[in-house]
A and B are shown apart, each in its own frame.
Chain A
Amino acid sequence: KNQVEQSPQSLIILEGKNCTLQCNYTVSPFSNLRWYKQDTGRGPVSLTIMTFSENTKSNGRYTATLDADTKQSSLHITASQLSDSASYICVVSADTGGFKTIFGAGTRLFVKA
């Protein structure tokens, strides 16, 4: 069964600290993996996208990694800011010739002053 599992479910960190969010997937055959940020009451916004051949991608203070062999990805946030408080969703697409995209449940990040 195609699945995307994220951990932790929620996380509280102090402003200025770093954190790493995890994503494990069983989606096959793999096409690409995206990380989205979703603020409360808003739609998700794409942070990074990685294909099979890419193992790291940065977008400002966000750095995503991908290990296609172990089917794991991480999102590292550096020098967190209060505005980073949001849900971070890992999304994996399968290359089936049709449309198959599986969303994780997300990690809820709270950044405290």
Chain B
Amino acid sequence: GAGVSQSPRYKVAKRGQDVALRCDPISGHVSLFWYQQALGQGPEFLTYFQNEAQLDKSGLPSDRFFAERPEGSVSTLKIQRTQQEDSAVYLCASSLTAVYNEQFFGPGTRLTVL
């Protein structure tokens, strides 16, 4: 596609619900990143894939957060038993090859946990 797309754009969940956020990277991009952005703050790294391999998940805040990219293209970030502190914008980015190439960001998914 022309750019990174994410869905849904907005998600409202009740505390305790599970949510799944989808990212479609730019076709052919090897690296894929997930970030969490709180209101008024810069993005914070969550996890990183190279193709289907999750090479770094050190930024995931708890074991309630899980990400996958089974075929090396589309990725899903799943949050189990959502808490109010999970409310944030979740950004996905992809880059062509090496981890330090320019990252192209999607529009983000704004998650609100009530």
Give the interface of A toward B (CB within 8 A): 4, 31-32, 34, 41-46, 49, 89, 91, 93, 98-99, 101, 103-106, 108
Contact = CB atoms under 8 A, between A and B. Distances in A.
Given A43-B4, A45-B105, A98-B55, A103 B100 contact: no
> What does DSSP make chain A's interface, helix, strand, loop or mixed?
strand
A103 B43 contact: yes
Contact of B100 (A42, A93, A106): A93
Contacts of B105: 43-45
Given A31-B100, A49-B102, A43 B108 contact: yes
B111 interface: no
B85 to A, nearest CB: 18
A43 B107 contact: yes
A103 B42 contact: yes
Nearest to B105: A43
Given A43-B91, A43-B108, A105 B103 contact: no
Nearest to A101: B45
Interface string B23-57: 00000000000010000111111001000000110
Contacts of A105: 40-42
17 contacts: A34-B102, A41-B107, A41-B108, A43-B4, A43-B105, A43-B107, A44-B105, A89-B43, A93-B100, A98-B55, A99-B55, A99-B99, A103-B44, A105-B42, A106-B41, A106-B42, A108-B40
Nearest to A9: B40
Interface string B80-114: 00000000000101000001101111111000000
